[in-house]
Amino acid sequence: MVTKTEETQLNRLENQVDNGGGGAWEYLCLVKKLKVRRPDKVLRHGLSILNDPKKRSALGPDVWTLYEQVSIAAMDCQCLDVAKDCIKVLQKQFPESKRVGRLEGILLEAKGLWAEAEKAYSSLLEDNPLDPVLHKRRVAIAKAQGNFPTAIEWLNKYLETFMADHDAWRELAEIYVSLQMYKQAAFCYEELILSQPTVPLYHLAYADVLYTLGGVENILLAKKYYASAIDLTGGKNTKALFGICLCSSAIAQLTKGRNKEDKESPELQSLAAAALEKDYKQRAPAKLLLLTSALKSLKTS
Amino acid sequence: MAEDLVLDTAIRDWVLIPLSVVMVLIGILRYFVSKLMRSSQVPDPKIVKEGQVIVRARNLRAGANFISPKSFRARRVYFCNEENGLLHVPKGQAQNAQAQMFSDPNMAMDMMKKNLSMIIPQTLTFAWVNFFFSGFVAAKIPFPLTQRFRSMLQNGIDLSTVDVLPQFVWTEGFI
């Protein structure tokens, strides 16, 4: 996750470089370090450095990483000729290289030649069975083809070995949610919460999945996770506030028949509703009426 | 000799300073040689998986309060199950680290290489210093020693007191 200082630094450098000031190389290094996705800017500024032989020689051995970065950005922007040229240069410099082989595979993917790309990755994987990037690219091929069951199978196999890779767990959770396999998605989100318990995004997503699954226990649990999401964001997360109101009304509906004592205090719902109204008054006063009527219907139902 | 010993400037200029410089250079040289001799290890799939399992188990322990009790119990069983739990090591098979060190040929070779790269420069330096720099006094120990240390610390010098260090012992400190 990118921190706030890094974000401000990135924006500052971006503005500086866009408006003609120097510092393109620092910008590219920062983009690479933070792993953000800015293909058009990387392509533009990277090419400006690479096409200038003086700047190229000033970089020294870093020029090859720049070629790699620019080729990936070019493929992201679908400028496949630029990408091919960069890869050709890298191939001349580093024949028989694993990284260049990977780039060729990505180029085949970008062209849409899935079968060739898969063959290339399989042959690379035979030599390096423990390269996580190759595994993930294979999963990406399956996903891009729309072949979700294969993607899930490969991702599961990858996670059997590399089970501490939280990005992979996140990807798997999203695939499961898109396929409506909510129980499995809940498991993946639990893994994410275990590895990074202070990220409110995962709590929120887990609560959504639990609410969708339904059932009194799940909705009770979802309410707890919405509450923790509010806690982690300092009360600013509108979605979580709505979630609490919805959960409370759903629980009230489900337990209407039984005569259980009220375990959950009704304060939480009224507090959440009050916070929502305050938020809407500040940011979207036009919709305040809609909100109050919706909340009223939730309370009465 | 109860009075203070004063170090001759000649000794200081021609012995201490060059010797210190040589010691530092030898340290740097040893670092680069060890870097060259280190063989690149091919990652073993079992070791990678074990490392990842440990990280995941550690996360489970650390974040146990953040997930529901049912899912925590399910994961705990997955790790500690008697038959096929990932972290479960049956009683007979647990090897202690030393046996494993000797049975793994790669690790044994690495250890031997490291030891050799330590011993050989030490012996060479010792012999060289002994040859060149012997026969004069370099330092004074603040606490008294018994006579048994005389042969160890004072090679080639006959002194009544044992609290004075000749040159080569000073260099041993750098190694």
* pLDDT over 70 (residue B93): no
User: Would you state the pLDDT for residue B106?
Assistant: 67
Neighbours of A139 (CB within 10 A): 22
Residues A201 and A166: their CA atoms lie apart, in Å, by 13
Residues A196 and A175: their CA atoms lie apart, in Å, by 20
* Integer Rg of chain B from CA: 28
Burial-class residue B131 by CB neighbours within 10 Å (0-12, 13-18, 19+): exposed
**Token duo for residue A78:** 């679908």
Residue A270: closest CA among A233, A235, A295: A295
B103-117: average pLDDT: 72
Question: CB distance A197–B66 less than 8 Å?
Answer: yes
Give B-chain residues touching A162 at CB under 8 angstroms: 48-49, 52
* pLDDT over 70 (residue B47): yes
* Nearest residue of chain A to residue B54 (CA atoms): A164
Give A-chain residues touching B43 at CB under 8 angstroms: 130
For A111-152, the three-class secondary structure string (H helix, E strand, C coil) is HCCHHHHHHHHHHHHHHCCCCHHHHHHHHHHHHHCCCHHHHH
Which ipTM was obtained for this model? 0.75
> What distance in Å separates residue B51's CA from the closest CA in chain A?
9
Instruction: Identify the residue whose tokens are 């396999």.
Output: A181
Length of chain B: 175
User: Would you state the pLDDT for residue B1?
Assistant: 46
Asked which of A59-63, A151-155, A247-251, B152-156 is least confident by mean pLDDT, the reply is B152-156
Residue A191: closest CA among B135, B71, B131, B27: B71
Tens digit of each residue's pLDDT (9 = 90 or more) over A241-274: 889 888 888 888 888 766 555 555 678 888 888 8
Question: CB distance A164–B68 less than 8 Å?
Answer: no
pLDDT band with cut points at 50, 70 and 90 for residue B175? very low
User: Would you state the pLDDT for residue A204?
Assistant: 93
Nearest-CB residue to A163 (from B45, B53, B63): B53
Question: CB distance A130–B53 less than 8 Å?
Answer: no
* Nearest residue of chain B to residue A190 (CA atoms): B67
When the pLDDT of each residue in chain A is averaged and rounded to a whole number, the result is 86
* Nearest residue of chain A to residue B65 (CA atoms): A194
> What distance in Å separates residue B62's CA from the closest CA in chain A?
7
Tens digit of each residue's pLDDT (9 = 90 or more) over A16-42: 888 777 778 888 888 888 888 888 888
Question: CB distance A165–B66 less than 8 Å?
Answer: no
Q: Are A10 and A30 in contact (CB under 8 A)?
A: yes
State phi, psi for B164 to the nearest 5 degrees.
-120, 130
Residues sharing a CB contact under 8 Å with residue A254, sequence separation 6 or more, in sequence order: A216, A219
Asked which of A263-267, B42-46, B49-53, B71-75 is least confident by mean pLDDT, the reply is A263-267
Question: CB distance A130–B62 less than 8 Å?
Answer: no
B142-162: average pLDDT: 61
Nearest-CB residue to B52 (from A129, A162, A193): A162
Residues sharing a CB contact under 8 Å with residue A136, sequence separation 6 or more, in sequence order: A158, A168
* C-alpha atoms less than 13 angstroms from C-alpha of B163 in its C-beta half-sphere: 11
Q: Are A182 and A208 in contact (CB under 8 A)?
A: no
A147-175: average pLDDT: 90
Cα distances (Å, whole numbers) of residue B137 to A153, B131, B153, B158, B167:
75, 15, 11, 11, 6
The three-state secondary structure class of B8 is coil
Bridge partners (DSSP) listed for residue B137 = B166
* C-alpha atoms less than 13 angstroms from C-alpha of B79 in its C-beta half-sphere: 18
Question: CB distance B43–A161 less than 8 Å?
Answer: no
Q: Are A107 and A84 in contact (CB under 8 A)?
A: yes
Question: CB distance B60–A194 less than 8 Å?
Answer: yes
* Type and span of the H or E element at B73: helix B69-80
% of chain A with per-residue pLDDT over 70: 95
User: Would you state the pLDDT for residue A160?
Assistant: 87
Nearest-CB residue to B71 (from A129, A160, A190): A190
Amino acid residing at B15:
V
* pLDDT over 80 (residue A210): yes
Q: What single-letter DSSP state applies at residue A47? A: H
Residues B54 and A187: their CA atoms lie apart, in Å, by 19
Q: Are A267 and A244 in contact (CB under 8 A)?
A: no
State the sign of the Cα–Cα–Cα–Cα dihedral A43, A45, A48, A54: negative
Amino acid residing at B48:
V
Burial-class residue A272 by CB neighbours within 10 Å (0-12, 13-18, 19+): buried
When the pLDDT of each residue in chain B is averaged and rounded to a whole number, the result is 72
Give B-chain residues touching A195 at CB under 8 angstroms: 56, 59, 63
Describe the crossing of helices A267-283 and A288-300 by its angle, rounded to 10 degrees: 170
Amino acid residing at A221:
L
> What distance in Å separates residue A80's CA from the closest CA in chain B?
34
> What distance in Å separates residue B69's CA from the closest CA in chain A?
11
Q: Which of B44, B60, B67 has the most A C-beta neighbours within 10 Å, making it the best mutation to test the interface with A? A: B67
Nearest-CB residue to B43 (from A130, A163, A190): A130
B143-162: average pLDDT: 61
Residues A200 and A190: their CA atoms lie apart, in Å, by 13
Give the DSSP letter string of A245-298.
HHHHHHHHHHTSSS-----S-THHHHHHHHHHHHHHHHH-GGGHHHHHHHHHHH
Residues sharing a CB contact under 8 Å with residue A95, sequence separation 6 or more, in sequence order: none
Q: What single-letter DSSP state applies at residue B44? A: P
